[in-house]
Structure 1
Amino acid sequence: MNPTHTNLPPRAKSGGKGKKKPVPKKKSTWKSFFKFVLVVVLVAILAAAGVTGYLYLKGTEIIEKSGIDKPVAPGQSAKEKPITVLLLGTDHRPETGTYLTDVVMVATMHPDTNTSTLVSLPRDTLIELDGYKASKLNAYYPRFKAAYTAAEKKEPGSGIPAEEEMKVMMSKYLGVNIDYVTVIDFQGFRDVVDTFGGVDVNVQYNMCYRDTADGTDINLTAGPQKLDGKKALDYVRYRKTSDNCSPKTKGSSDFERNARQSEVLHSLLDKMKSLGGVAKVGSALDAVSDNMTTDFEQEQIRNLIATYYDMGKNDVNFMPVTGNWKSPYVYISSSELDAARQALQDELAGKHNAGTEETDADSEPAQ
């Protein structure tokens, strides 16, 4: 399978407009923005937290470790043109070896308006796209990795890196040309939490889920507490209960999981801002870089930080695309998907849209 960039719209030119006046949004946009920034580049959060002096040297070391050592093509600097990034969060960890993508987001950013549009898709979305076998969205990345690995072993395979395959597929699906891709795994998340000595959260209800197949053993009790990296990951991952839990606990919706992710990231940010946290910033950056794959050039990462480090919560239009759950798939709302595609294209053209009001109702029930 060798997908190609077809039927993609031409890249919109920079609009040259000044920074627009922020428009107040709901808290959920701020939650998702934190998640986005942490995944793309933890350095940016730390810079906004006021520790740029400390990070000047250490941040440079991590950028050189994380980014690709090649120049940015002329005219392609994030300082002067809008870019689109595919963000993938995988379930990969040493005990499983799997690469299912539990988080799939596409973000467009425009330097003239200093704004961003962030589209997220449910992991169980049914993808029906010419040139691809119909499947859940979260299954494509591991499939592409397997094909690339086979080709490296001189067996039948694509010979194309999985990250590049995902960029091509998602470009076609969303109708925008994706410039970069960043992948972060569960181990990176756990390492960062442990580096800062855990996170303080308030577990709203008991959570129990056990799966001997992949070694998952979630067992959290309700109440305020400090969680280490492993338990913090359990907290944000929890989706459903299992029959081998007694008493059986209730399942969790995607909305509740997003709220828990935000809670953990806010706790991490508080640690980073503290005096003790500043001393551990280098280790946290190392943890992320060791468990992150990206095709950003080192120079482009610096361009991103210089251009978007002060992007605020009112500058991000978060668009979670929802749908209806009918086992084993989420069937995406066509109207929401069309609106998300248009919003991405508008952002690239320098026309930032204010986010729409989100509700607490979930189209996808807990599974």
Structure 2
Amino acid sequence: MQANASPPTSPRRPPKRRALKRTLLFIIILVLVATLGYAGYVLYKINAAIDRAGSSGAVSAGRQVDRNPVTVLLLGTDTRPQNPSLNTDVIMIASFNPDRQSATVVSVPRDTLIKVSGYSQLKANAYYAAFHHANKATADKKTKELFGKYLNVPIDYVARLDFNGFERIVDNLGGLKLEVDMNMCYTDKADGTSIRLTEGTHLLNGSQTLDFVRYRKGNCQNAADSNDIKRNERQQQVIDQMIGKLKSVEGVLKLGSVIEAAGDSVDTDMPASEIKSFIRTYMAADRDKINYVHLEGEWQSPYIIVRPDELKRAQTALREQLK
């Protein structure tokens, strides 16, 4: 009787194939470890930058930015080495609503004549410098109080950014694609200003973007003149483009370097813990839910006189976010 045949055996995998799979697995593990390590490093840099920019301490539950509306005064200070001024050539008041994920941003022209009971009548951009020279320790508080009374809204925090810091932030974003509305050409040898921009859509670096938002008048052939109203519109275009860039895949990858640049250039009285909470709360907010308000007025040298109905419209728009 014939013996039963032995069951077939599975062919062994070639040693080279097993070695290749082990190598690929090892590489995948290394990539994951490196990615997690880099993410941890970026997170560390972000936290360190926020800690540098923000104040210490905490706030009560009734003031936490992820649960309650908040109003922030944003100031851009002209503190270039050639012109160490404390004038705030960018003035924005922004109210945020965490439940609706919405915001209103009001730009105040730098030459606006401010009339508030109990304060001297000055141009809008002169108050922070005046308060700072009088008493540096109370300058932020007094500036918030002044613009809070002017716009009839309680201002919780102030954030100040100098021009050099603004340039670094834009450069770390990879520049901004902006619609230059006119030929811009202006030279001032005294403070080193040299603006050269042509009308059209361009990718601008940090220095060019600063020129774009600062431009008011030309002193070259074929250069157009602008005004504070146009400047405010450009500033708001830049803010909108910066938000859009940060929300893109490219921007998310650059978030660490952007916040690091901001941490070295931004001073704010918002606690560091609240800055982190603010970023988590509004990072995913829809750009369409940001309402930009332009204050209109008439030029009566050396001031812009804002019409009462325009001021009322801005006040109402800010307060709507606080409901």
TM bin, normalised by shorter chain, reads 0.7 to 0.9
The structural deviation recorded for 1:302 is 2.1
Separation of aligned partners in 1, 2:72 and 2:243:
24
Number of the residue aligned with 1:239: 216
Separation of aligned partners in 2, 1:142 and 1:328:
18
1:334 to 308, 318, 322: 308
Query: RCO higher in 1 or 2 (8 Å CA, sep ≥ 6)?
Result: 1
The structural deviation recorded for 1:233 is 1.6
Would you say the 8 A contact 2:246–2:255 is kept in 1?
A: no
Q: How does 1:1-367 map to 2 (within 5 A)?
A: 56-149=43-136, 160-196=137-173, 198-199=175-176, 203=180, 205-221=182-198, 227-242=204-219, 245=220, 247-254=221-228, 256-258=230-232, 260-261=234-235, 262=237, 266=241, 270=245, 273=248, 280-349=254-323
Would you say the 8 A contact 1:163–1:181 is kept in 2?
A: yes
- CA distance change for structure 1 residues 322 and 206 in 2, over 3 Å: closer, same or farther? closer
User: CA-atom RMSD, angstroms?
Assistant: 2.9
Percent identity (aligned): 41
Would you say the 8 A contact 1:167–1:181 is kept in 2?
A: yes
- Number of aligned residues: 285
- Secondary structure of 1:240's counterpart equals coil
Structure with the largest fraction of strand: 2
Separation of aligned partners in 1, 2:239 and 2:292:
19
Match for 2:241: what amino acid?
A: H
Would you say the 8 A contact 2:77–2:88 is kept in 1?
A: yes
The one-character-per-residue Cα deviations of 1:253-287 (angstroms, maximum 9, x if unpaired) are: 45654565426963795588465x66654332222
- CA distance change for structure 1 residues 323 and 259 in 2, over 3 Å: closer, same or farther? closer
- Secondary structure of 1:75's counterpart equals helix
The structural deviation recorded for 1:128 is 1.6
- Secondary structure of 1:123's counterpart equals coil
| Higher radius of gyration, 1 or 2 | 2
- Secondary structure of 2:186's counterpart equals strand
- CA distance change for structure 1 residues 68 and 253 in 2, over 3 Å: closer, same or farther? same
Gaps of 5+ in 1: 1-51, 150-159, 350-367
- Secondary structure of 1:100's counterpart equals strand
The structural deviation recorded for 1:118 is 2.0
Would you say the 8 A contact 1:84–1:109 is kept in 2?
A: yes
Would you say the 8 A contact 1:89–1:104 is kept in 2?
A: yes
Q: TM-score, normalised by structure 2?
A: 0.77
The one-character-per-residue Cα deviations of 1:284-326 (angstroms, maximum 9, x if unpaired) are: 2222121111011111112212322222123222222211111
- CA distance change for structure 1 residues 255 and 263 in 2, over 3 Å: closer, same or farther? same
Gaps of 5+ in 2: 1-38
Separation of aligned partners in 1, 2:200 and 2:309:
40
Match for 1:170: what amino acid?
A: F
